[in-house]
Structure 1
Amino acid sequence: MQSFRVSPGAMLESLIKNRRLILALTKREVIGRYRGSALGILWSLFNPIFMLAVYTFVFSIVFRAKWGGGNQTQTEFALVLFAGLIVFNLFAECFNRAPTLIISNANYVKKVVFPLEVLPWVALGSSLFHALVSVVVWLLFYIFVVGIPHWTVLLTPLVLVPMILFTVGVSWLLASLGVYLRDVGQIVGILTTVLMFVSPIFFPISALPAKLQPLLSLNPLASPIAQIRDVLYWGVIPNPMHYVAYLVGAAVIACLGFAWFQKTRKGFADVL
Structure 2
Amino acid sequence: MNPHSRAPISPWALVSNLWQHRRLIMQMTRREVIGRYKGSMMGLLWSFLNPLFMLAVYTFVFSVVFKARWTTSADEGKGDFAVLLFAGMIVHGLFAEVLNRAPGLILANVNYVKKVVFPLEILPVISMCAALFHTGVSLLVLLGAIVVVDGNLHSTMLLVPLVVLPYIIFVQGLAWILASLGVYLRDVGQTIGIITMVMLFLSPVFFPVSSLPENMRPLMNANPLTFIIEQVREVLIWGHTPDWAGLGLYSLMAVAVAWVGYAWFQRTRKGFADVL
**What one-letter code is carried by the residue in structure 1 that aligns with 2:28?**
L
**RMSD over equivalenced CA pairs, Å:** 0.8
Equivalence for 2:238: 234
Equivalence for 1:247: 251
Conserved? CA contact 1:227–1:238, under 8 Å:
yes
- Give TM-score, length-normalised by structure 1: 0.98
Equivalent of 1:69, from 47, 52, 72?
Answer: 72
Conserved? CA contact 1:80–1:229, under 8 Å:
yes
Conserved? CA contact 1:68–1:207, under 8 Å:
no
1: CA distance between counterparts of 2:68 and 2:260?
Answer: 41
Equivalence for 1:196: 200
Equivalence for 1:13: 16
User: C-alpha deviations, 1:107-154, integer Å up to 9, x for none?
Assistant: 101111111110111000011000000010111121122111000110
Conserved? CA contact 1:59–1:75, under 8 Å:
no
**What one-letter code is carried by the residue in structure 1 that aligns with 2:61?**
V
Equivalence for 2:50: 47
Hey, which bits of structure 1, 4+ residues long, moved more than 4 A?
none
Unaligned runs of 5+ in 2: none
Equivalent of 2:123, from 105, 116, 119?
Answer: 119
Q: CA deviation at 1:68?
A: 3.1
User: C-alpha deviations, 1:233-259, integer Å up to 9, x for none?
Assistant: 011111111100111101100000000
**What one-letter code is carried by the residue in structure 2 that aligns with 1:55?**
Y
Equivalence for 1:225: 229
**What one-letter code is carried by the residue in structure 2 that aligns with 1:203?**
F
Equivalence for 1:157: 161
2: CA distance between counterparts of 1:261 and 1:104?
Answer: 16
**What one-letter code is carried by the residue in structure 2 that aligns with 1:13?**
S
- Give TM-score, length-normalised by structure 2: 0.97
Equivalent of 2:59, from 41, 56, 59?
Answer: 56
2: CA distance between counterparts of 1:164 and 1:136?
Answer: 18
Unaligned runs of 5+ in 1: none
2: CA distance between counterparts of 1:245 and 1:68?
Answer: 29
Q: What does residue range 181-192 of structure 1 map to in structure 2 within 5 Å?
A: 181-192=185-196
Equivalence for 1:90: 94
2: CA distance between counterparts of 1:22 and 1:147?
Answer: 38
**What one-letter code is carried by the residue in structure 1 that aligns with 2:48?**
L
Task: Say whether residues 1:140 and 2:144 are aligned partners.
Answer: yes
Q: CA deviation at 1:26?
A: 0.5
